[in-house]
Amino acid sequence: HTSQRSSPHYCRHGGGSGCRSRYISCFSSVSRPSSSSSSLKFSSVPPHNLDSVDYLAEQLSQRKFKNIVVVVGAGASVNAGIPDFRTPGTGLYDQLQEYSLPRPEAIFDLNFFKMNPKPFLRLARSIWPGRNNESPKPTVTHSFLRVLQEEQILRRIYTQNIDGLESISGIDDDKLVECHGHFRSASCISCGKSMDANRYQEIIFRTTKTGRSIDDNGDDGEDDNNNNIPTCTGCRSFVKPDIVFFGEALPMRFQSLILEDVERCDLLVVIGSSLLVDPVASIPTWVSVDCPRVLLNLEVVGDFNNKSGKRTDIILQGDCDESVRRLCQSVGWESKIDQLYQKTTNGNN
């Protein structure tokens, strides 16, 4: 990709068809952040001392870290009833076989959406955030993110998720970068004209005369007329939520914040991510080698597998909520996350 802009141009790549590698970032004239720059300033915590969860908990309880950056993936929302993407058998990509897609990633492929938007819209209906009491609710992991914010040690959250649960849990807008977009706005895929999100939601959840939700198989007859597929009032092209599909540019907010955030980051936390979709997957490699990193995930992923010893990494392997709870028990935050969790599950921030 090329660009005339002087700032980085980041596109979403997931290693599907059309990508030369699973790990691709698109830049223009600015290179990746250097991990050895002498201008970088980090926590005064000596990294060689950060060799245990207990020591990490001690530093967190004493607020030794001031600029924590968190990368959040689909694993953080699994306990909200939203499947992750790649877990064999239960992951979203395995469940997508019913949609007769040419490949699982096609559900987030713009060219495929132009031909057949129904699979994506069916998925959107199943995970649309905050619609009613049956919609997914924030998890214990999201409450942990909220505690970091309330402790005033959170610099930024970079979430790969489109479920909006960080926002619903009470994370401030200025602390959040929704790297792959959200459902709070929608735009025409051709001319870019916006559509009110409430109107979009009304159309895709439209029911038949019998009160049944219109499904994608056309069994109710009415769906043959595409009456639950939002179209632009200007050019009549399809409209989709402002979700970043593969090959599309990430939001400008990502581009404007990421360089300074990785420079100032004094603790990098990765929660529930496979670290396969760039550029977000590369964030852990962009922080200084002096910056300690923590992984909470079912599997060891990315360069957390690197045994070179150049980085200080702590790995809490297992279910995200369970790992968060163990860490919060050590820090003394368990009652805080429990209170916040109860509030958000009851619909209060």
> In the sheet where 194-195 sits, what is the strand order?
194-195, 181-188, 239-243
What three-state secondary structure class fits 90? Answer: coil
**Residue 68, strand partner residues:** 154, 267
Where would I find the H helices in the chain?
53-61, 92-95, 110-115, 118-127, 140-150, 165-168, 197-204, 252-264, 283-286, 320-331, 334-345
CB neighbour list of residue 39: distance below 8 Å, 6 or more residues apart:
263
From the list 307, 59, 178, the residue with the least C-alpha distance to 315 is 307
Q: How far apart are CA 312 and CA 301, in angstroms?
A: 15
**Structure tokens, 10:** 């980041």
**Strand 293-297 versus strand 313-317 pairing type:** parallel
Q: How far apart are CA 284 and CA 104, in angstroms?
A: 26
Say which of 9, 13, 142, 180 is annotated catalytic: 180
Query: In which residue are the tokens 């009833």 written?
Result: 81
For the chain, the maximum distance between any two Cα atoms, rounded to a whole number of angstroms, is 67
Does the annotation mark 180 as catalytic? Answer: yes
Q: Which residues are catalytic?
A: 180
